[in-house]
Structure 1
Amino acid sequence: MSKTEDAYQALKQDILFTRLAPDAPLNLKKLCAQYGFGWTPMREALARLESEQLVHSRENRGFIVAPVSEAELHDLTNARQTVELAMLRDAMVQGDEAWEEEIVTAHFRLSRFTVDAAKLTEADFDAWEALHDRFHRALLAACTSKTLHHFYDHVNAQLLRHRKHLAISPAIRAAQAAGADHDAVVARLAEALSLEGHTEIMEAVIDRDKKRAERLLGAHIQLTRQVFNAASGEQVR
């Protein structure tokens, strides 16, 4: 890969997993020193991230990480549900034996990474999320629409950092603290991280049980909203 591509990938991963927090200033000199790249590849990487709406530029003030909001978290969750269900329908029609094998393989790798919701750390979640993302992409891989795949990539990238900053990280802090909402937060985190839920989705998809697969996947996607509600002390809906 080129230096620009390397810089882009490094920055993007840190933005998506909120190691570079929303609204954080992105000082070019500091970024070059931190990541070990020159000004040109770093500027080009920031410009590319701006085109993907992960970075914003401010007139005469440089770049910042794009902000997040509760409203956008819910909007992105609904958008993900719409596009992912549409892609899953097509994938179940188009998918072959090789597609099924990739789903089973991705599920197996996810099953090998066990997490305890009550003791979850940021690093644990980041490692789990990489496997979780691979499982969902395996489900959708047989979808034939390039446009839907492109839209999914955009929505999923934005949703990851919203989910991490507004739902998962607060839930981790709440789960590690003694309080009235502790049990509710741990329960919602455990449900979101549950292998059982992913197993049910896998089985329904491979069986081509469209109604069950769509119902299970739709409910799974909405767990983000429930984790957010629990972490923020709102009534779980």
Structure 2
Amino acid sequence: MLVLLPPSETKVDGGDGPPLRLDVLPHPELGQVRKELAHELVELAGNVADCRTALGLSAKQDAEVARNAALFDSPTMPALHRYTGVLYDALDAGSLRGAAAARARGRLAVGSALFGLLRADDPVPAYRLSAGSALPGRPTLAARWKPVLEPVLAGIAAGELVVDLRSGSYAALGRVPGAVTVTVLAERPDGTRGVVSHFNKAHKGRLARLLAGTRAEPTDAAGVAAIARRAGMQVERAGPTALEIILPA
């Protein structure tokens, strides 16, 4: 099973790994796009105003521009520890121990606008590039990633179950055929339900933690739902590969 996480805009600073080497990252089919994007980000960082515009930054976020300028020189750390925020706080991968931690490192992956697909232990620096970023004079990130990323994801899905927890903009970089998808819904007092925004990431992070550490090896959406239900989550099937996490009123 592979649990595909979204990245986060916020990232931990520093690291104790050597500077970025694109050639050591897995899935060499993604290497050319990775190389192009990385060099474009470094070049773009040389013009702070243009970089702010392209990446949707304010003047108070110029530290993000500096991160990109130092992309090939700054230290790295495992991808799973680089990303932070609500989903990663709920996942809390650092607290997993023993066999559960080993399973998590093998099962967790991150969909990245810069790197396409990262495994948990892949060494990466801090950077800023979101799926919706528009690099000047270049095609959209979805147009650049889909031709190379989708075949990689399809190959993975052919051999194991993929649970895709990415947000819509990151899923658009490369779809996964047959992946289990998850939506978080809140139940209102009148019985109707609506998509959750505030708690969405937290509950997906909680589910990711359950799937990362479980001894079970689910092969379909029903198996994923069973793991979540045993942990007390209210989960319903919304289709052959679609699950809904229901938050009671």
The answer to whether TM tops 0.5 is: no
Q: Tell me which interval the TM-score lies in, with the shorter structure as reference length.
A: under 0.3
Q: TM-score, normalised by structure 1?
A: 0.26
